[in-house]
Amino acid sequence: MTADPTLRIRPARPADATAIVEFVRGLARFEHEPVEHVRLTVRDIWRDGFGPRPAFEVLIAERLLDAGPLPVGFALFFPNYSTWEGRAGIYIEDLFVIEEERASGVGHALMAAVARFAQDRGAARLDLAVLDWNPARGFYEALGMAHQQTWLPYRMERDAIARLASEAAEAD
């Protein structure tokens, strides 16, 4: 793929927190979810992405225009660990490109940048989850990702966590 001189992928900075929240809201709309369900705030991004112990990293895709750079997408990721591989990996929590920029190479550039991070860190795997109806599945497969048909995702949310945690013995 030829490099697009009008596209830049860079690590996010604290000043990008508002754009990151807006991208997450855009992702909620794309996934047909009420935007009100997005609890993420700018303060959350500052605390968890740029605080003393960052929980995630973000890459920002910018279209370089005469008027200045315009954020057009992002990838938010964090480390996971494979006991079978005995190595860390990277989990992509969110990858989002604004509608006007889809199919323009922005998603590919973001994925390539995350892959470079993974390679530079010696990651054994690069994982993500995608909704079954999302047309991006073909995009991910074309990049070399394989659908894990035998693994089913499970999730426990706040209320269930609180119920189960109430059953735990006190830690020493």
> CATH number for the domain including 133?
3.40.630.30
Residue 140 bears catalytic tag: yes
Full-model pTM:
0.90
pLDDT of residue 61: 98
State the distance between the two ends of the chain, measured CA to CA, in whole angstroms: 55
Structural domain total, the chain: 1
The per-residue pLDDT for range 57-92, each reduced to its tens digit, is 999 999 999 999 999 999 999 999 999 999 999 999
The answer to whether position 87 is within a domain reads yes
Q: What is the dihedral of CA 60, 124, 78, 72, to 10 degrees?
A: 20
The answer to whether position 16 is within a domain reads yes
**Which of 73, 131, 76 shows the shortest CA–CA distance to 104?**
73
The answer to whether position 164 is within a domain reads no
**Which of 93, 23, 96 shows the shortest CA–CA distance to 55?**
93
Q: Is 33 helix (H, G, I), strand (E, B) or coil?
A: coil
The answer to whether position 172 is within a domain reads no
pLDDT of residue 2: 59
The answer to whether position 35 is within a domain reads yes
Domain around 51? 7-146
**Which of 165, 119, 125, 122 shows the shortest CA–CA distance to 146?**
125
CA distance 99 to 21: 16
Name the catalytic one among 81, 91, 140, 154. Answer: 140
Lookup: tokens for 3: 């490099």
State the average pLDDT over residues 82-108: 95
Lookup: tokens for 90: 């990277």
